Each structure stands twice: as structure tokens, then as C-alpha cells.
Amino acid sequence: MARIVVCGPEMAQFGAALARELDESLCQAMVERFPDGEMHVILPERVTDLDVTLVQSLLSPAGERLVELSLLADACRRARAARVTLFLPYLAYARQDRCTRRGEALGGEVVAGLVSLAGFDRIVAVDLHSDAALGWFRAPLQHLSVGPDLAEAVRSSLPASSVVVSPDLGGAKRAERVAKLLGKPLAIVHKTRGEREVIVHRVLGDVRGQAPLVVDDMISTGGTIAAAADALRQAGCVPPLTVLATHALLVGDAIDRLRAAQVACLVHSDSLPTRELPFPNVVVPLAPIVASALREEFPWNPK
């Protein structure tokens, strides 16, 4: 079946990269605005009877991107695409993965449900923050973890005496996989999150005299990384401090916090638009990884 990659304007660069990897044509949708702000989506290329890969990341503002995603999917369906696969590099609200008090919304499940309502035949997502997210979608889900790819990108530059660090207990399994791949010891920072700041209690594991590789799934404000860096220095870690994270949101004062934390290098994917940083960074492209996954046989649900 012939295939085509479809994307909106915000994902044009990523869509083009994925189309090149798959050796497929690219359809960049036209997203117009009415005077009241409503979006109007038009597909300028024919997708009838084609196997469509729709590329959309729920970057900020997530609500706008979610509506755009729904309109793009509807346009594909109305144009009678044979199948529509969603490639979702980043899922907003994924950190809202549990309720801690009565009357609290479970944001991650709600947003995943709204994505599912667009009627995709298959969803391919990247590092969804927690195992709970794997059950949120109402369509066949293929979940990709790019931690190993990020680890390989930094392997040759790591000092011989290095330790892989999870900045919290929740990410221990993620960091453990990287530690095994690199053949390095593992340490865990025990933290709690207060109303406005991250509070570190202790570092679990021997890190004295070792250079830390901090592994996380995403960096938002940089508060967790900054707190972990301070705790690791107090526990006897030595430079350089390398940080590995799939999703580099870097909102607010995040870049200043990472610089103040003396991050020597940030290794991340291009699940979100990349930018220039005041310290070295390595960007691992997702397009080759996703293209390989999309080429695999997939057990499609019968119509």
C-alpha cells in the first residue's frame, strides 16, 4: 500500500525528515486562522487510499496542538485515507498520571482519550513518562523508548569512572536500563516535591569520585536536575555532569538553572523543537528510529 507523511506547519521539519527516512512523499497541511482564532485545516495533497502517517507533537500550547491534531485526522478520514497512523513524539499532560486527592483530574488519561477519539488505526509514541500511560489510549499503541539510543550517543565521551543516576525513585527503572547498557553503576537521588521546589533527602549508592550521567525522560523547569546536581556534588561526585533526557521542554528559567548546575552536556531527542543552548548539547534525531518502527509488521485490527 502506498504511503504518505502528513504534518502541520509546526512539525514541518520533523515531517520532512521522517518522509526522507521512509522514502515517502510529504503533505504539509495548510492551517489557516479565521478572525476569531478558529483553525481551518486543508490537505493540499491527495491521500485517498493511502497509508497515512500523521506527525504531531503536543507541544505548547498543548490545547491548540490537540485541536489541530483532531482536525488533521478528520481531514485525512474525509479524504478517504486507507489507514491513519499517528506518530506522537511528545504527549503533553503525561506527568499527570495519578490522582492524590478527591476531585483531582487525571490529566494524562483525559488527553490520551481525546487523542484516541480522532480514530487512529495505530499510535506510535515515545517515552510516555510512566507505565500507567500505556493503558490510556483506545487504539493499538506502539511505545518506543529512545533511552538506549541516547546512551549510545554519549558512550564514547563518558569518563571511565562514571555513574548513571536517576534523579528520583520513579525513574529508577529507566536509569537502570541505561546503566546496564553502558556497563556503569547506578545511583538514585531520593527526592520529594514540595509546593514550589524539589527537596532532596539523600543519594542512594556510592558516587564519590565519579562523574554523573543523570537520566530522565523530560526536563521542564530544570528544578529536578538542579536539585540532583547539588546533592551529587555534596555526595562527592566530580565533573563533568552529563544529562540525558528524551524530551527537552526547557520552559521558564530551565536553561539558566542547567547552566548554574554546571551541566557540561545535555543529550536529548528532537521530540520538541530544538534551540541553541549556552552549553554543549547532542540532539539524537527520532526520524530514523521511528521509520524503523513504522516499517515493522503491525497486527492491524480488522475493520
Mean pLDDT of 133-141: 92
The per-residue pLDDT for range 246-255, each reduced to its tens digit, is 999 999 999 9
pLDDT of 66 higher than 90: yes
Looking at the structure, tell me whether residues 104 and 10 fall in a common domain: yes
Q: Dig out the grid coordinates for 76 from the structure.
A: 485525512
Please indicate, yes or no, if residue 170 is contained in any of the structural domains. yes
Domain range for residue 136? Answer: 3-145+288-295
The per-residue pLDDT for range 173-205, each reduced to its tens digit, is 999 999 999 999 999 998 666 555 666 668 999
* CA nearest to 87, candidates 303, 302, 298: 298
* CA nearest to 225, candidates 254, 205, 182: 254
* CA nearest to 72, candidates 39, 121, 36: 39
Strand 25-28 and strand 3-7: the pairing is parallel
Percent of the chain scored above 70 by pLDDT? Answer: 94
Q: How confident is the model at residue 229 (pLDDT cuts 50, 70, 90)?
A: very high
Looking at the structure, tell me whether residues 61 and 157 fall in a common domain: no
Domain total for the chain?
2
Strand 198-204 and strand 186-193: the pairing is antiparallel
Q: Report, as residue numbers or ranges, the catalytic residues.
A: 191
With 0-12 / 13-18 / 19 or more C-beta atoms within 10 angstroms meaning exposed / middle / buried, residue 131 is exposed
Please indicate, yes or no, if residue 92 is contained in any of the structural domains. yes
d(CA 184, CA 206): 12
Q: Dig out the grid coordinates for 101 from the structure.
A: 486527592
Greatest CA separation for the chain: 61
Looking at the structure, tell me whether residues 11 and 141 fall in a common domain: yes
Please indicate, yes or no, if residue 159 is contained in any of the structural domains. yes
pTM: 0.89
pLDDT score at 299: 56
Looking at the structure, tell me whether residues 183 and 270 fall in a common domain: yes
Average pLDDT, the chain: 92
Buried b (16+ CB within 10 A) or exposed e, 171-204: bbebbebbbeebebebbbbebeeeeeebebeebb
pLDDT score at 192: 63
Q: How confident is the model at residue 301 (pLDDT cuts 50, 70, 90)?
A: very low
Looking at the structure, tell me whether residues 138 and 234 fall in a common domain: no
Mean pLDDT of 273-278: 86
Please indicate, yes or no, if residue 301 is contained in any of the structural domains. no
Contact call for residues 86 and 120 (beta carbons, < 8 A): yes
Residue with cell 555534596: 234
pLDDT score at 191: 65
pLDDT of 1 higher than 90: no
Please indicate, yes or no, if residue 300 is contained in any of the structural domains. no
pLDDT of 43 higher than 80: yes
DSSP 198-249: EEEEEEES--TT-EEEEEEEEESSSHHHHHHHHHHHHTT--SPEEEEEEEE-
Contacts (Cβ under 8 Å, ≥6 apart) of 220: 249, 250, 251, 254
The per-residue pLDDT for range 141-153, each reduced to its tens digit, is 999 999 999 999 9
Which amino acid is residue 80, in one-letter code?
R
Looking at the structure, tell me whether residues 193 and 241 fall in a common domain: yes
pLDDT score at 302: 39
Residue 211 sits in a domain of what CATH number? Answer: 3.40.50.2020
pLDDT of 131 higher than 80: yes
Looking at the structure, tell me whether residues 110 and 151 fall in a common domain: no
Looking at the structure, tell me whether residues 75 and 190 fall in a common domain: no
Contact call for residues 168 and 219 (beta carbons, < 8 A): no
Please indicate, yes or no, if residue 303 is contained in any of the structural domains. no
* Alpha helices per DSSP H over 37-183: 62-78, 107-116, 147-155, 172-182
Contact call for residues 267 and 88 (beta carbons, < 8 A): no
Looking at the structure, tell me whether residues 136 and 90 fall in a common domain: yes
Residue with cell 521546589: 197
Please indicate, yes or no, if residue 224 is contained in any of the structural domains. yes
Please indicate, yes or no, if residue 302 is contained in any of the structural domains. no
Looking at the structure, tell me whether residues 59 and 123 fall in a common domain: yes
Looking at the structure, tell me whether residues 221 and 280 fall in a common domain: yes
Looking at the structure, tell me whether residues 153 and 60 fall in a common domain: no
